[in-house]
Amino acid sequence: MVEPLDPEMFDPVCPSSALPVQIGDKWTAMVVLCLEAGPRRFTELKTPLRGVTPKVLTQTLRAMERDGLVTRTAYDENPPRVEYELTPLGRSLLDLVAAARAWSREHLPALLEARAAHDSSPHASRLKRSPDSRA
């Protein structure tokens, strides 16, 4: 058994909407991260992915299963238990997700700053005078 997921592993304040990198669908990258340490149950995934509805999480997981990124294992028990686990192919995305997060950590502030500056000022478009042939 692995450690429980941190319910706050995804900062809701973080403007990931501004993040110019997306892996698969909206929640795919986060699911990959949640599954990094080992298999997880449906409800277990829902916790850190605050706000995701069961419908959408199911859609995401089904799509990932279809693409060979995760396996779905249903245990014949009561109450029902279903576990999702990254395949090797799914694990191969971890590097990419890490790279995206590294970029964000390093450059997202600058991007956000540029955006704020641009929004709060009359966009001074650059104009270059072409080389004038006259003296």
Return the number of the residue (23 or 47) whose C-beta is nearest its own copies. 23
Q: At which residue do the structure tokens 């109450």 appear? A: 79
Q: Is 58 in the site for DNA (CB under 7 A)?
A: yes
Q: Is 82 in the site for DNA (CB under 7 A)?
A: yes
Q: Is 27 in the site for DNA (CB under 7 A)?
A: yes
Q: What distance in Å separates the CA atoms of residue 55 and residue 41, rounded to the nearest whole number? A: 15
Return the number of the residue (23 or 56) whose C-beta is nearest its own copies. 23
Among 1, 12, 79, 129, binds its own copies (CB under 8 A): 129
Instruction: Assess contact for 29 and 97: CB atoms under 8 A.
Output: yes
Q: What is the DSSP letter of 31?
A: H
- Cβ atoms within 10 Å of 31's Cβ, excluding its own: 26
* Nearest approach, Cβ of residue 119 and DNA (Å): 15
